[in-house]
Amino acid sequence: MNEVIKAVDLTKIYNKRDKKKRGEISVNLNQVLNGVSLEVYHGDFISIMGKSGCGKTTLLKILGGIEEATTGRAIVGDINLSSCSDEILSDVRQKIVGFVFQEFYLVDSLTLKENILLPLYISNKPYREIESLILENAKRFEIEKILDKYPTEVSGGEKQRTAICRAIINEPKIILADEPTGNLDSINSEIVIKYFERLNLEENRTILMVTHDPTIASYSKKVLLMKDGAIVKQIEKENGEDKKNFIQRIVEIMDY
Ligand SMILES: Nc1ncnc2c1ncn2[C@@H]1O[C@H](COP(=O)(O)OP(=O)(O)OP(=O)(O)O)[C@@H](O)[C@H]1O
Ligand SMILES: [Mg+2]
């Protein structure tokens, strides 16, 4: 099997600058990742779980080339993100990885359609093809009727689904999704997670997804539990195991 992501002993330390105390700036070091090692193979569908603040988003951002690790190595495809040029890093972000952000990051001055179109500006696809690609994906996420609206005019769930469309429109090999159903009701969550499941099963796309929801996590094949900046447990769905049983096992490790 091919490794598509390999993380070796990643650490991340943020500097927290506090207000001047008696004329001094106090700098507190906040160690958010404490040596995370991880191997993701082509066709994996992995959920990352763990309490708020344990470092899930930070890990995903490092693997997506958005944040830099303090120490350790993050390798995506055959590119070492810790030592490659900015140009290659931006190639990774645009062509290899599709990132669904927890905070969406849609551009408010652009319509939903233009937001989805952004990653395609660098592609050589003819516009007609791009249009049908957008429509096909928008239909999948039931936002085809609001494509001409601006992000400020739509709901949180609609923004979320637009952000997912934008992340997958380039057909990236790897999808990194930070709580992709975090703002969706149960019906829309199911649409999204079933679509992810299909992308994984039918198109063999590799998916690494953060979620707090055991039901959502049960669609993936493997669950990693993070605690205090480290991966402390991992479980895999057994062959033929039904989702209910897997949910039960996920809930059990969440108490760890
Ligand atoms: N840019 C930053 N500067 C300083 N500290 C940060 C920064 N980003 C995150 N942190 C801190 O790092 C820790 C981990 O944050 P992270 O966003 O990775 O958590 P998380 O597991 O994704 O949490 P949640 O489930 O709430 O999204 C938190 O204590 C957070 O305050
Ligand atoms: Mg987060």
| Ligand 1 binding pocket mutation candidate from 30, 178, 226 (most atoms within 8 A of CB) | 30
pLDDT for the residue 167: 93
pLDDT for the residue 104: 86
Q: How far is it, in rounded angstroms, from Cα 14 to Cα 21? A: 20
In the chain, which ranges are E strands?
Answer: 3-21, 24-41, 45-49, 71-76, 79-80, 97-100, 174-178, 206-210, 222-227, 230-236
Q: Which ligand has the minimum distance to the alpha carbon of residue 54?
A: 1
Q: Which residues does residue 162 pair with via DSSP β-bridges, in sequence order? A: none
55: CA distance to ligand 1 center in Å? Answer: 6
Domain ranges across the chain: 43-70+85-254
* pLDDT tens, position by position, 31-51: 999 999 999 999 999 999 999
pLDDT for the residue 78: 87
- How far is CA 82 from each of CA 7, 67, 105, 157, 172, rounded to the nearest angstrom? 10, 10, 24, 34, 21
Minimal-distance CA residue to ligand 1 atom 24: 52
Task: Sheet containing 71-76: give its strands across.
Answer: 24-41, 3-21, 71-76, 79-80
212: CA distance to ligand 2 center in Å? Answer: 10
149: CA distance to ligand 2 center in Å? Answer: 27
Q: How far is it, in rounded angstroms, from Cα 105 to Cα 114? A: 13
245: CA distance to ligand 2 center in Å? Answer: 26
Among candidates 25, 48, 13, 41, which has minimal Cα distance to 253? Answer: 48
Alpha carbon of residue 255 to chain centroid = 23
Low-confidence ranges of the chain (pLDDT < 70): 1, 18-26, 122
Ligand 1-lining residues (CB < 6 angstroms): 14, 16, 30, 32, 52-58, 102
Q: 115-136: b or e for each residue (b if 16 or more CB lie within 10 Å)?
A: bbbebbeeeeeeeeebeebbee
CB 210 within 8 A of CB 176: no
CB 47 within 8 A of CB 220: yes
The CATH code that applies to domain 43-70+85-254 is 3.40.50.300
pLDDT for the residue 2: 75
Near ion ligand 2, which residues have CB within 5 Å? Answer: 57, 102
CB 160 within 8 A of CB 184: yes
168: CA distance to ligand 1 center in Å? Answer: 25
Backbone angles phi, psi at 56, to 5 degrees: -65, -50
Q: Is 110 exposed, middle or buried (0-12, 13-18, 19+ CB in 10 A)?
A: middle
Minimal-distance CA residue to ligand 1 atom 28: 53
Backbone angles phi, psi at 124, to 5 degrees: -100, 15
Tokens of 167: 């992340």
- How far is CA 158 from each of CA 61, 141, 182, 188, 196, rounded to the nearest angstrom? 23, 9, 12, 9, 17
CB 173 within 8 A of CB 93: no
Q: Which ligand has the minimum distance to the alpha carbon of residue 59?
A: 1
CB 26 within 8 A of CB 63: no
